[in-house]
Amino acid sequence: MTAGVVDLLSNSVRLVASSQTHLLIEIARIEDIRRGKSSVLRVGGGLRSLCLIHEVTPIYPSQAKAAHIVGNVILSIRFDENGYANDVRVIDGHPLLIQSAVHGVRQWRYAPFVFQGTIIPGITTVVLPFGLK
């Protein structure tokens, strides 16, 4: 593993880590945010859990359960200024699991983000596991 120093004021950064919970963090250059190039904040990992204020756990579909289908559904969620999921996009997942995952996530609510005194929308990526217990 290597470590280094990155000047976050002049460089954008994209970090991807793989673990039981996948994590994606993107940090935009401060000048881009100030100029309005970035209209949303991308939230990931610890920020997601701190800002999620209402979560509905997706139901494991009976058809998928009967077929012993297990796996993750990966979704990209855009949430509006009020914290409601207004755009949910599927990145990956089994077709029998996707509808349930999207239905559950559409009911989530995040705490609104305030950046420099302005409430702004955000985007995050979530991994929802489905499996037999």
Q: What is the DSSP letter of 61?
A: -
Contact of 96 with 63, CB cutoff 8 Å: yes
Name the helix (H) or strand (E) containing 123. strand 122-130
Structural domains for the chain: 39-130 (3.30.2420.10)
pTM: 0.64
Beta bridge mates, 87:
78
CA end-to-end span of the chain, whole Å?
35
CB atoms within 10 A of CB 85: 20
Tens digit of pLDDT at every position of the chain (133 positions): 344 444 444 444 444 444 444 444 455 555 555 555 555 556 554 444 447 899 999 999 999 999 999 999 999 999 888 889 999 999 999 999 999 999 999 999 988 877 777 887 888 889 999 986 6
Per-residue pLDDT tens over the stretch 95-121: 999 999 999 999 999 888 777 778 878
